[in-house]
Structure 1
């Protein structure tokens, strides 16, 4: 029989060390990986802006984002297993005792690196589209005024692509809280059948809590976890829209 427990499920979550760890991992993906993605993406945008063959380079950078996350998780498991590609390449360079890539302590940092690699091309493409829409005469005016590269970046490129940065920040905030497949598949490649708890995010915690195979699944706690994730995204998106709000620039 069902029994109304009020805020009992939320109280339980904040006293659950596993949920707090999962929530912390979600924040790491959100902020640490997010900062890495935007720094690398914007750097690639500036490098590729005037480079010959930029369309081909953009396609190559974007390609990892086209691979399904489940497939990418399986491939990553093969690449980083003890007899996989990474260790084979290290052996060529004389590294006969490589790190235990699939150990519980190393899995989550690897996932962070992989998410950075997979997602960078997507945001690079968006930022390049934002930079490409800047009219050429802005750069001509900078040249006539004697502006250096940093001044051109500060006073032209950043202000005229600020709205694009805001859109990318919102997209990443939403996506980072939903990351599940690559953790589930790649984390499960350790042979345990389920990713180790060190790699869990709130999405994984919610799934395991609701469908853990217990005789009485904890749907209430899982729903509370999902609601908290929604609340986190909502608050962050509102803050981003307020903090990154600028006067509209027409050109």
Structure 2
């Protein structure tokens, strides 16, 4: 006799409308509101940033003075940049600002961070350090031109203490070094303020434990402050990379001002773009200037990616 085995019937499935994968009503509402909020920002970004970049890329393929007919050159403008010693000098100066100026700026910022953390009135000191960031670079250029000219207050003070032949600060050989020093002085407080905001979030017991282990001020900074604030330091390094390629007003006013463009030995890529697009005694070269601007944009992108890769670290949990 064969037993009949019957399978239990499956329970009836509840009838409901299909929903998105693992989504509830609140998440669907958020998704519906995504494009109405993000869309206008993307449109503005495309019109103000992406469209000008695309137009500059198109213009860089032509020889054009801005008024006449555009003459096709293809990659000829980029070839002219490679052969132009002034452009090579401007790229070198930009790299000096990026590497040497950035290194000095962060050394000063780290030293100030080390000093400010032990200071009781550090909020006031931080405000004083941040104050130069509120002043336009044009003011620095005009003030430096007044202070460091051959008959200015700096040389007058040096003569008063017995220096018979004070340095020619604004001479072509010394001008870029002076610009670099002013950049470091005006930027160090900004990055110190950002780094100190991260340092304030580090628990105090970590410093107490390090101090009990016999670590001095520098070792506490190196083993506690720097690792736990490393993400913020990385952001500051990226900000410096972007800003170093845009150095313009300070160079222009230091060496040029009302007299014209500064000496070519002090040009950065931003000054090169300006001087090429708006030359004083010749027709504008907007195609060449657009090519130089795109090269600068590519440099910023490459250095930013390289910097992020070099400074990448595993997150540290306190």
TM value normalised by structure 1:
0.94
Report how far residue 217 of structure 1 moved. 1.5
Q: Please identify runs of 4+ aligned residues in structure 1 that moved more than 3 A.
A: 143-151, 213-216
Q: 241, 247, 250: which is aligned to 2:314?
A: 247
Correspondence for 1:200:
267
**Which residue matches 1:236?**
303
| Residue 223 of structure 2 corresponds to residue 155 of structure 1 | yes
1:221 corresponds to 2:293: no
8 Å contact kept, 2:261–2:275: no
Q: Aligned partners of 1:175, 1:47: CA distance in 2, in Å?
A: 26
SS of match in other structure, 1:50: coil
Match in the other structure for 2:64: none
Find the counterpart in structure 1 of residue 172 from structure 2. 104
Measure, in 1, the Cα distance between the counterparts of 2:282 and 2:185. Answer: 40
Residue segments in structure 1 that go unaligned for 5+ positions in a row: none
Equivalent residue for 1:45, pick from 113, 119, 129:
113
Distance change >3 Å, CA 101–CA 146, structure 1 → 2 = closer
Q: Per residue, is there more helix in 1 or in 2?
A: 1
Question: How big is the shift at 1:166?
Answer: 0.2
Larger radius of gyration: 2
- What is the total number of aligned residue pairs between the two structures? 250
Q: Structure 1 residue 4: deviation in Å?
A: 2.2
- Residue number among 189, 210, 223 corresponding to 2:277 in the alignment: 210
Q: Of residues 168, 171, 177 in structure 1, which corresponds to 2:245?
A: 177
Deviation, 1:151, is 4.0
Distance 2:225 2:295 in 1: 37
| Equivalence for 1:17 | 85
Normalising by structure 2, report the TM-score: 0.75
In structure 2, what is the equivalent of residue 77 of structure 1? 145
The 1-side partners of 2:109 and 2:216 are apart by 22
Q: Which moved more, 1:210-219 or 1:141-150?
A: 141-150
RMSD: 1.6
Tell me if the contact between 2:114 and 2:217 (Cα under 8 Å) persists in the aligned partners.
Answer: no
Alpha-carbon distance in 1 for matches of 2:178, 2:221: 33
Q: Which residue of 2 aligns with 1:114?
A: 182
